[in-house]
Structure 1
Amino acid sequence: MIYEKRDPAPHLRQVIKGYWRVDSEGDKTIATQKIIPDGYPEIIFHYGSHFEICLYETWQSQTSHLLAGQIKKHFFLRNTGAYGMIGVKLMPTTLAKLFGLSMHALTDKVVNFHKVANGKFLELESIVSQSPESSQVFERIDSWFSSASTEYKNDTSRVEQALQGVFESGGTRQVGELAVGVGISERQLERLFQQHVGLSPKYYSRIIRFNKIFDLMQNQDPAWVQLALDSGHFDQSHFIRNFKAFTGEEPTGYLFNEENMANFFLHK
């Protein structure tokens, strides 16, 4: 199994969080994988067998080119054979800023991007499909995004300033404080977040606070009380509730070191 991550070109770091590739290397074993929210929308290309997805209670077949909006809780994927995937993990406002998409309409959805993007990703799809297993594919994606980012479709500067506050505080800064920091009311900030991020600032902050747990787990043993405080939770019970809300599991039973997609995406 190949789990690979790549950074974008430095000038694209405000647009792209990073690239990833997952490849079963010909292994056709069928396995169900849990995917956990991390706060970043994605463009995903399959170059092997297709996947099935269970976002709610039923399984559905996926297409080979996908757009994933903000996801509020865990869901499941299941391969149907040997597979390979390339993902572009985007910064929260990129789809709104560069392509004029309403992020609220994409919340809790993983869709065929041709249905929502009006041909905006056709050239990118062609670039990736030429040789998806090549290490140069990420450089070609960089080049495409460099061209696409020369013109911004929407002004997201206030949202991005507030997001910076979320990231800097590890998701602990209050919504009122974020709003004051960018010079608008809480209600205005809520509207901007729904449009450009797809979640409320409070809920998005919860996801970022939850994500910090996985960073901390790589650097310390699970002393749960201290971990809860270090990750910005009020106490251990608050930490457990938040963890279970996003993963469906108690933290004491979660396999943080298991090689799977959830840990691959959440570990830095």
Structure 2
Amino acid sequence: MEFQYFQPAKALAPYIRHYYQFASSDNAAYEDTVFPSGNTEVIFNLGGGIWESFQDNAFRKNPAIELWGQITRPLAIRSSGAHLMLGVRFFTHGTPFAIDDEIGIFNDQVSDLTNVMGGDIRDLHGRLLEAQSIDMRITLLDNFFASKLTRASRRQDRLDKVARILTSIAKDPTENNIGRVAGTFGITTRYLHKLVYQHTGLSPKSFDKIHRFKTSLKLIGENKLPLTSIAYDAGYFDQSHFIRDFKSFTGLTPSAYLNNLSAVNQMLIN
């Protein structure tokens, strides 16, 4: 397996975290579990392999152009065949400039993006398949999403406000900080909840929990601190809170996860 990361054009950088290419020439069957990351993603399948995700109590084949909504619980995936995938990973607040639908309706599922964006995204997929290099593909992505951003210019002020709110929440990785953040922005906690959910698919509390969880994943991956220290450094009130939240997001205790580090989920913290 090989992951490569690419930065978007400057105008897109506040909304798109990065592009990535995933390549695998191994035809062996592969299984993993995807954990919550706080990001939404678009994935273009350019190879011959098959990906499936566990939805509605069964494994179902993922579409050629995947829209990953917010994942809030463990999601099993499996694949077969050789893969070439090109992904667009949005910041938590970033998807609404490209997709008009309320993002929360896509939570915990892998949807067919052609049902959401229609012919435009299908045409882009065709051009990506024909492109002869990764540089050409990145240029195609930049041009496509830049045009979407231009059309969404009226939304940018609100998207930027949500980004600032999320940054404030992330800077204070402790529980029960939502009221303080709302006060800083001069809004009620009820309006903050509505604003964040409309633009991210997550409640402020869910975003806060996922942010602390991602911080703990990164620290576990570095393997430099005992789990007790990781809990406090990630903003958990105590060890029991850490273990409970971690298990709800992964199905594993932190110590069990440490013994089963996954390439897919280590990718999620980048």
Could you tell me the TM-score, scaled by structure 1's length?
0.90
Q: Give the drift of 1:92.
A: 2.0
Query: Using the alignment, how far apart are the partners of 1:173 and 1:127 within structure 2?
Result: 47
Q: Which aligned pairs between 1:10-159 and structure 2 lie closer than 5 A?
A: 10-25=10-25, 27-48=26-47, 49-131=49-131, 134-152=134-152, 154=155, 155-159=158-162
Decide which moves more: 221-230 or 92-101: 92-101
Determine if contact 2:175/2:237 at 8 Å carries over to the other structure.
Answer: no
Pair 1:24–1:179, CA change in 2 (3 A):
same
Following TM superposition, by how much is the alpha carbon of 1:120 offset from its aligned partner in structure 2, in angstroms?
A: 4.7
In the alignment, structure 1 residue 238 sits paired with structure 2 residue 237: no
Contact 1:33 1:260 in 2 (8 A): no
Is the contact made by 2:174 and 2:237 (CA closer than 8 Å) also made in structure 1?
A: no
Distance across 2 between alignment mates of 1:84 and 1:131: 13
* 8 Å CA contact 1:170, 1:212 repeated in 2: no
Greater CA drift, 83-92 or 5-14:
5-14
TM-fit CA distance, 1:177: 1.6
Of 178-187 and 124-133, the range deviating more from structure 2: 124-133
SS of 1:84's equivalent?
Answer: strand
1:3 and 2:6 aligned: no
Task: Pick which of 225-234 and 41-50 moved more.
Answer: 41-50
Structure 1 CA distance, aligned partners of 2:264 and 2:185?
Answer: 36
SS at match of 1:253: helix
Q: Which amino acid aligns with 1:205?
A: D
**Contact residue 53 and residue 77 of structure 1 kept, 8 A:** yes
Cα distance in 2 for residues equivalent to 1:175 and 1:119? 40
With over 3 angstroms needed to count, the CA separation of the structure-2 counterparts of 1:108 and 1:258, relative to structure 1, is closer
1:178, CA displacement in angstroms? 2.0
Alignment-derived partner of residue 169 in structure 2: 166
Pairwise CA RMSD of aligned residues?
A: 2.2
The answer to whether the 8 A contact 1:53-1:62 is kept is: yes
Partners of 1:96 and 1:228 in 2: CA distance: 33
Query: Which residue is equivalent to 2:213?
Result: 210
Instruction: Specify whether residues 170 and 55 from structure 1 end up closer, same or farther in structure 2 by C-alpha distance, changes over 3 A only.
Output: farther
User: Structure 2: how far apart are the matches of 1:4 and 1:86?
Assistant: 10
In 2, the alpha carbon distance for the partners of 1:252 and 1:197 equals 30
Structure 2 SS opposite 1:149: helix
Kindly state the Cα deviation for residue 137 of structure 1 after the two structures are TM-superposed: 1.7
Distance 1:256 1:172, change over 3 A: farther
Structure 2 counterpart SS, 1:99: coil
Task: State the AA in 2 paired with 1:216.
Answer: L
8 Å CA contact 2:97, 2:148 repeated in 1: no
Is the 2:220–2:258 Cα contact (8 Å) retained in structure 1? no
Following superposition, the deviation at residue 122 of structure 1 comes to 3.3
Equivalences, count: 266
What CA distance in whole angstroms lies between the structure 2 residues aligned with 1:133 and 1:88?
A: 17
Partners of 1:165 and 1:173 within 8 A in 2 = no
Compute the displacement of 1:121 (Å). 2.3
Counterpart of 1:7, as a letter, is: Q
Given the superposition, is the C-alpha separation of residues 113 and 217 from structure 1 closer, same or farther in structure 2, using an over 3 Å criterion?
same
Residue 44 of structure 1 and its aligned partner are, at CA, apart by 0.6
Q: Is the 8 A contact 2:169 2:178 kept in 1?
A: no
Displacement of 1:83: 1.7
- Could you tell me which runs of 5 or more consecutive residues in structure 2 were left unpaired when the two chains were aligned: none
